[in-house]
Amino acid sequence: MPICIFLSLIYNYMQVHFSYDKKKVYQALRYHFLWQPEMRILLSLIIVFDVVTAILFFIGKIRPEPFLLGSCIWLVTIVVFWYVMPGTIYRKNETFKDNFIIDFSDSRVYLENSRGYVEWDWAKFTKFAESPNFFHLYFSAKSFFIVPKDNMSDEFKFDLRLLLNDKIKAK
């Protein structure tokens, strides 16, 4: 039996009800930021700067100010990355305060709440990723929707991974 036919038999209809937990959303947003290449480059450059200035300071080649500046930049970056950015996104987005029903089928993803619904063909998604508490469904590098795993059985999560791998391709 071809894999596509087998998968279509499994995935005729998968539904989950969910709402968001603030702490878990913050964590999901942190994962999203870590997956961004520019964030990894920025953090790497700050670490390299700190290490180089620490070495130069301890061997007496520079004064302590560059080392302290690098440490302050590192501290500010971590605070912004860990608290400010997730908090800003969470507060600005009403989505995180709603209750949802999401249906995954062979042809589309259907999302519904008390205010309406949206339907996405699988072709709308560019990639997906998985963090400990969420499936991240990406429309572009910066635009995504997160689906909590809280109300999913292990079997449902396994089947959803298969469906997402078949329809989107993980990265």
pLDDT of residue 162: 94
**58: pLDDT strictly greater than 70:** yes
Tokens of 120: 């996405």
Sign, Cα dihedral of 44, 132, 33, 159: positive
**4: pLDDT strictly greater than 50:** no
* Beta strand pairing call for 127-130 and 134-138: antiparallel
**113: pLDDT strictly greater than 60:** yes
Q: pLDDT-based confidence at 12, cuts 50/70/90?
A: low
**43: pLDDT strictly greater than 50:** yes
Secondary structure tally for the chain: helices H, strands E: 6, 7
Q: Check residue 42 and report its DSSP letter.
A: H
Question: What are the domain boundaries of the chain?
Answer: 3-19+97-167, 30-92
Note the pLDDT tens digit of each residue in 91-109.
999 899 999 999 999 999 9
Q: What CATH number is given for 3-19+97-167 in this structure?
A: 2.30.29.30
pLDDT of residue 67: 84
pLDDT of residue 66: 85
pLDDT of residue 8: 40
Mean pLDDT confidence for 130-153: 94
Whether pTM > 0.85 for this model: the answer is no
pLDDT of residue 89: 95
Give the 3-state secondary structure of residue 148. Answer: strand
How far is residue 53's CA from residue 149's CA, in Å, rounded to a whole number?
43
Rounded to 5°, the CA angle 29-125-157 comes to: 65
pLDDT of residue 5: 37
